[in-house]
Amino acid sequence: MKFGVVIFPGSNCDHDALYALESNLGQEAVPIWHQSEDLQGCDAVVLPGGFSYGDYLRAGAIAHFSPVMKAVKRFADSDGLVIGICNGFQALTEAHLLPGALVRNANLHFVCKTVHLAAGTKDSPFTSHCPSTPLAIPVAHGEGRYHADAATLDELERADRIAFRYCDAEGKLTEAANPNGSARHIAGVLSEGRNVLGMMPHPERAADPVMGSTDGRCIFESMIGALSLAS
Amino acid sequence: MSEITPAVVREHGLTAEEYQRVLDRLGRTPTLTELGVVSVMWSEHCSYKSSRLHLKKLPTKGPGILVGPGENAGIVDIGGGWAAAFKIESHNHPSYIEPFQGAATGVGGILRDIFTMGARPIAVLDSLRFGPLDDPENGARNRHILEGVVGGISHYGNCFGVPTVGGECLFDPGYSGNPLVNVFALGIFRHDQIFFGRATGVGNPVIYVGAKTGRDGIKGASMASEEFSADSEAKRPNVQVGDPFLEKLLLEACIEAMQTGAVLGIQDMGAAGLTCSTCEMGGRSGAGIEIDLKLVPQRETGMTPYEIMLSESQERMLLVAERGREAEVFAVFEKWGLDAAEIGTVTDDGLLRVNNHGETVAELQNSFLTDDAPLYDRPHTVPARSAPLDGPPVADVDSAQALDALRKLVGSADLCSKRWIWEQYDYQVRTNTTAGPGGDAAVVRVKEAGVSLAMALDGNSRYCALDPKAGAMLNVAESCRNLSVVGAQPLGATNNLNFGNPEKPEIMAQLVAAIEGIGEACSHFGAPITGGNVSLYNETLGKGINPTPVLGVVGLIPGMEAPPSSVFPAEGLTLLLLGGWMPGAEDALDRRFGSSQYARVVLGQTWGLPPALDLDFEKKVQDLTRSLVREGLVEAAHDLSDGGLAVAAAECSFGPAGMGASIAAPGDLPAVYALFHESPSRVLIAVRAETVERVQQEAAAAGVPAPVAGRTVAGFLELKVGDRTLIAAPIEGLYEAWDGALRRQLEGE
């Protein structure tokens, strides 16, 4: 499959995503510059982590005005698979491709550590290959606390659109296991069409055994599986 | 133009003799701009005038050294046509005045030193010192400084996209009014991509790139060369403000511009800004540089030549391009949305000539500002000693006291977990960190070269305060030992020398002795010094800090596998103590114990001498450790340092697997020494039962004792000395004391 990794000025997990997709998962992966509207015929688009445009307004706020985001919106509207990781998730909520917002962590500090995630649903092109046991995947963000009004949160739950929740190693949704104070432990959500995923944790950092965990691979493997079925 | 009165000269920190040198050389009164330029270039921070004479004695050559001291960073060969550039730099004074921006711009400055040479930064480490957080008088202020500094490092490094992979953080009352923020950065590039800060080719354009110049940070270098007084707060405008996003764009643009082949030389504008970059680029090549200040991009209106030349606005670079190919350079900076302007040309007269709207406002010989800066052989007597040679008699411990002491030690400011700090740093970005913060050394793989690099920062002012030379040697030994436990061979080192006022002979003596110690030990371990930084005048209200040399050592690991962990991974492994129970124990143990963390934390006083170090033996232990690790025989490895055997065993038990240990030491020494003395040259390793014999054979062949110390057990820590069980406790309670201590202090629990 061919993945496109969008590069905004200030993206800094772009190379990590390209490396994980090419070297760890054996896929074709190409960079897409933010000023381009050409997605180069990619089967799926990755919005990587970083601090796009410095994040001086709100994380991800400026990124969604860039030419590439117009193309990404069109791609998403035509059922293309889009995954936004960390800053990419923030950009997707700013672009209203996903509901809610990511606000400052509850303890006000940036946090980098490996957390556990429970897949909230198997019914998506991003989670179909995920095991039912918790996934160990790192987070690294200062603004990752998922926020939405109660009605939106209820609707996300009702429509089975919560892709991942923060949990402990046993899968329990404890207060201590929620690294940023996210509403209802939400770590990742799906779009209404289930073809757009935003998640704060970094699956590309958990794709290589030498980095300590390969639990992030199942997310990309789910995507590859879904794309193979579609083609 | 302002008149140059003796008061104006004094305000610029020049002595009467130094000012006379200026008059003699110029044959006229300097302009105010010239006086400013001379004062920053001759400041301690830029000229190293008190330390240069002694720094020359450091070993700087070795088989892997491609570029030694004198450039923006040192460079070592890492194989396969690849090289690593690294350096450490202090930002102590700004971090006291404005902790967040002071530390942030410290990170920004050292990153520019790396990428100005053409290398892409791949790792940052930092060595921090603060006053005690629970100090009744200064605690609140110290907590504020720590939180600001950590926030600043986190902000800048995370946004720039370089992982902060390790470091250290220690406390002492002497740092209350004078915190230390030493930042180390390392970058990689190919041998044929190395750039230097040299102005070459008469008539070539001098190009300014990056942020516009403002009034921030004017005379920062001079500020960093003074003691603090009660009105230091008023110097807040001297601290610069950093923009890591702009720096990230500058990195990408500079590396892309270098790839065009049109760039001949490049230097960042750090301390002393445009002044330093112009005269150093000219000074290194012997060329002259003529610039016109009206062409310099400016953020504020009405800036004087003096302000433009001395501004320390961040995220700026100066480069010299090939005449006729400027357009290629400008195109790259335009792509990244950055300012770039031709502000002058390279000349052949060796002068720095600064024009402003048709008027020459400064004309000085580059070499007069750089190589010919004052050089002092300051008087040095006997190093200042902070504590008596003899201390109280040390009582042995019973089991209740031993456990209580261990709990106090692991929860003490120096030894407790620094997780609260390093979880605020993105230590994984670039997905190369195979050993991150919290271990002995940080390790990053270099995918491009198929190898890994290990880095460790170590400073021990407790030892250096008692004997600066021996303390400095122990620092180097520990840094190199930290590399050996991850299987790395030292390639080179960088040092940051943080001391008090060098005009005091007993402080100067500390500096001289520490440099001697670093030199001897670095030669011994094959880790030549490739550059570094000297930070003097670390005093507040006349009281100096303990001498604090900080060593950053870089080592090479063949291959890209993760190194053994520093915590016990599984139950039933055999523990061996490489180096034996207590090397050097026969020599003045009662005095040497006075420098231990036990003396400081449990007994509440410090005295005596640092632990005895035998360099030859230390090297044997390190060589053995490294080869055992490389042979894949080691499941976990951790060196013994602060807090001795008991603390090392506890630290190894604080891993995610919840594995503890049962350890039995011989009973020929009092238990308090067996458990808590800090003899160097010792490494605790965990091996599989079936490999014990082979490991012991290799140790015997290397001439290193390797007694079986015990085995790993689940959830429990037991330490016996002779036939007495001194410590027997579940890991959980000790872990809580260790892991939560810093957070509790900061959150005032």
Any idea what the CATH number is for the domain that residue A158 is in? 3.40.50.880
B360 vs A: CB within 8 A: no
Q: Under an 8 A CB cutoff, do B161 and A208 touch? A: no
Please give the Cα distance from A73 to A82 (Å, whole number): 9
Could you tell me the pLDDT band of residue B227, with boundaries at 50, 70 and 90?
Answer: low
User: Angle formed by the axes of helices B399-410 and B644-652, to 10°?
Assistant: 60
Which region, left, alpha or beta, applies to residue B730 given φ > 0 means left and ψ of -120 to 50 means alpha? beta
Run of H or E residues at B575 = strand B574-578
Run of H or E residues at A167 = strand A162-167
B120 vs A: CB within 8 A: no
Could you tell me where the beta strands, DSSP code E, fall in B131-231? 164-171, 180-190, 205-210
**Number of CB atoms found within 10 A of residue B233's CB:** 11
Q: Is-catalytic flag, A34?
A: no
List the single residue in B158, B423, B431 with the smallest CB-CB distance to A208: B431
Instruction: Write down the residue that tokens 């390793």 correspond to.
Output: B685
> According to the model, what pLDDT value does residue B219 have?
64
B425 vs A: CB within 8 A: yes
What's the pLDDT tens digit per position in B334-352? Answer: 999 999 999 999 999 999 9
* Catalytic residue of the set B54, B91, B93, B155: B91
Please give the Cα distance from B60 to B62 (Å, whole number): 7
What's the pLDDT tens digit per position in B515-566? Answer: 999 999 999 999 999 999 999 999 987 888 999 999 999 999 999 999 999 9
- Exposed e or buried b per residue across B437-464, where buried means at least 16 C-beta atoms within 10 angstroms of its C-beta: bbbbbbbbbbbebebbbbbbbbbbbbbb
Contact yes or no for B108/B211 (Cβ under 8 A): no
**Terminal alpha carbon distance of chain B:** 58
Structure ipTM: 0.96
> According to the model, what pLDDT value does residue A61 have?
82
What's the pLDDT tens digit per position in B638-683? Answer: 999 999 999 999 999 999 999 999 999 999 999 999 999 999 999 9
Query: What would the two tokens of residue B336 be?
Result: 């990244």
> According to the model, what pLDDT value does residue A112 have?
98
Nearest Cα of chain B lies from the Cα of A226 at a distance, in angstroms, of: 26
- Exposed e or buried b per residue across A110-144, where buried means at least 16 C-beta atoms within 10 angstroms of its C-beta: bbbebbbbbbbbeebbbbbbbeeebbbbbbbbbbb
List the single residue in B428, B447, B560 with the smallest CB-CB distance to A205: B428
> According to the model, what pLDDT value does residue B585 have?
72
Could you tell me the pLDDT band of residue B232, with boundaries at 50, 70 and 90?
Answer: low
Give the mutation candidate from B252, B336, B431, B736 for the A interface (greatest A CB count, under 10 A): B431
Chain B residues inside the 8 Å CB shell of A136: none
**Number of CB atoms found within 10 A of residue B541's CB:** 11
Nearest Cα of chain A lies from the Cα of B541 at a distance, in angstroms, of: 34
**Terminal alpha carbon distance of chain A:** 10
Adjacent-strand bridge partners of B319: B207, B266
Contacts of B515 (CB under 8 A, 6+ apart): B51, B54, B55, B57, B58, B472, B497
Nearest Cα of chain A lies from the Cα of B368 at a distance, in angstroms, of: 41
Contacts of B210 (CB under 8 A, 6+ apart): B246, B250, B269, B315, B316, B317, B338, B339
**Dihedrals phi, psi of B100, to nearest 5 degrees:** -65, -55
CA dist B471 → A103, B173, B201, B504, B521 (Å): 47, 19, 47, 20, 11
Please give the Cα distance from A84 to A200 (Å, whole number): 8
CA atoms within 13 A on the CB side of B717: 26
pLDDT at B481 over 80: yes
Classify B5 as helix, strand or coil.
Answer: coil
Domain span at A192? 2-230
pLDDT at B118 over 80: yes
* Catalytic residue of the set A13, A64, A185, A204: A204
Please give the Cα distance from B398 to A78 (Å, whole number): 74
> According to the model, what pLDDT value does residue B237 have?
56
Give the mutation candidate from A210, A213, A214, A217 for the B interface (greatest B CB count, under 10 A): A210
List the single residue in A19, A110, A111 with the smallest CB-CB distance to B431: A19
Q: Under an 8 A CB cutoff, do A140 and B161 touch? A: no
> According to the model, what pLDDT value does residue A198 have?
98
Q: Is-catalytic flag, A13?
A: no
Adjacent-strand bridge partners of B556: B453, B489
Could you tell me where the beta strands, DSSP code E, fall in B258-381? 263-268, 288-292, 316-321, 340-347, 351-356, 359-365
Run of H or E residues at B442 = strand B442-446
> According to the model, what pLDDT value does residue A63 have?
82
Q: Under an 8 A CB cutoff, do B428 and A51 touch? A: no
Q: What is the mean pLDDT of residues B234-241?
A: 64
Please give the Cα distance from B77 to B188 (Å, whole number): 10
Q: Under an 8 A CB cutoff, do A9 and B158 touch? A: no
What's the pLDDT tens digit per position in A115-133? Answer: 999 999 999 999 999 999 9
What's the pLDDT tens digit per position in B689-725? Answer: 999 999 999 999 999 999 999 999 999 999 999 999 9
Q: Under an 8 A CB cutoff, do B245 and A53 touch? A: yes
DSSP classification of residue B300:
S
Contact yes or no for B628/B706 (Cβ under 8 A): no
Q: Under an 8 A CB cutoff, do A212 and B562 touch? A: yes
Q: Among candidates B444, B347, B480, B579, which has minimal Cα distance to B125?
A: B444
Please give the Cα distance from B593 to B392 (Å, whole number): 11
Contacts of B439 (CB under 8 A, 6+ apart): B166, B486, B565, B566
* Catalytic residue of the set A34, A129, A202, A218: A202
**CA–centroid distance for B685 within its chain:** 28
Q: How many domains does chain A have?
A: 1
Residue that wins the pLDDT comparison between A220 and A57:
A220
Chain A residues inside the 8 Å CB shell of B428: 112, 138, 140, 202, 205, 211
Residue of A nearest to B427 (CA): A112
pLDDT at B231 over 80: no
Q: Is-catalytic flag, A202?
A: yes
Query: What would the two tokens of residue A12 be?
Result: 């800094």
pLDDT at B230 over 70: no
Chains A & B: contacts with CB separation below 8 Å: 82
Q: Which of A205-219, B83-97, B572-586 has the lowest mean pLDDT?
A: B572-586
Chain A residues inside the 8 Å CB shell of B425: 110, 112
Q: Under an 8 A CB cutoff, do A10 and B248 touch? A: yes
Please give the Cα distance from B81 to B533 (Å, whole number): 28
Please give the Cα distance from B93 to B87 (Å, whole number): 19
Please give the Cα distance from B426 to B162 (Å, whole number): 8
Q: What is the mean pLDDT of residues B603-616?
A: 96
The alpha carbons of chain B give a radius of gyration, in whole angstroms, of 26
> According to the model, what pLDDT value does residue A11 have?
92
Please give the Cα distance from B409 to B401 (Å, whole number): 12
Q: Among candidates B403, B303, B288, which has minimal Cα distance to B351?
A: B288
**Dihedrals phi, psi of B599, to nearest 5 degrees:** -60, -45
pLDDT at B164 over 70: yes
- Exposed e or buried b per residue across B76-89, where buried means at least 16 C-beta atoms within 10 angstroms of its C-beta: bbbeeebbbbbbbb
Q: Under an 8 A CB cutoff, do A16 and B434 touch? A: no
Query: Strand B659-665 vs strand B716-721: parallel, antiparallel, or unpaired?
Result: parallel
Please give the Cα distance from B235 to B97 (Å, whole number): 7
CA dist B353 → A173, B344, B358, B359 (Å): 67, 10, 12, 10
What's the pLDDT tens digit per position in B31-58? Answer: 999 999 999 999 998 999 999 999 999 9
What's the pLDDT tens digit per position in B319-330? Answer: 999 999 999 999
Query: Strand B288-292 vs strand B340-347: parallel, antiparallel, or unpaired?
Result: antiparallel
Query: What would the two tokens of residue B345 be?
Result: 């040309």
User: Angle formed by the axes of helices B468-484 and B615-630, to 10°?
Assistant: 10
Could you tell me the pLDDT band of residue A52, with boundaries at 50, 70 and 90?
Answer: confident
Residue of B nearest to A12 (CA): B161
Whats the size of chain A, residue-wise?
231
Could you tell me the pLDDT band of residue B591, with boundaries at 50, 70 and 90?
Answer: very high
Q: What is the mean pLDDT of residues B590-613?
A: 96
> According to the model, what pLDDT value does residue B235 have?
54
> According to the model, what pLDDT value does residue B550 have?
98
Chain B residues inside the 8 Å CB shell of A15: 430
> According to the model, what pLDDT value does residue B216 have?
80
Q: Which of B208-222, B349-363, B485-499, B693-707 has the lowest mean pLDDT?
A: B208-222
Could you tell me where the beta strands, DSSP code E, fall in B598-707? 636-639, 659-665, 683-687
pLDDT at B586 over 90: no
Chain B residues inside the 8 Å CB shell of A53: 245
User: What does pLDDT average to over chain B?
Assistant: 94
Q: What is the mean pLDDT of residues B285-310?
A: 94
Which range, A34-38, B184-188, B242-246, is most confident?
Answer: B184-188
Percent of chain B with pLDDT over 70: 97
Could you tell me where the beta strands, DSSP code E, fall in B213-350? 263-268, 288-292, 316-321, 340-347
What's the pLDDT tens digit per position in B414-433? Answer: 999 999 999 999 999 999 99
Percent of chain B with pLDDT over 90: 90
Adjacent-strand bridge partners of A29: A3
Which region, left, alpha or beta, applies to residue B82 given φ > 0 means left and ψ of -120 to 50 means alpha? beta
What's the pLDDT tens digit per position in B402-418? Answer: 999 999 999 999 999 99
What's the pLDDT tens digit per position in B174-211? Answer: 999 899 999 999 999 999 999 999 999 999 999 999 99
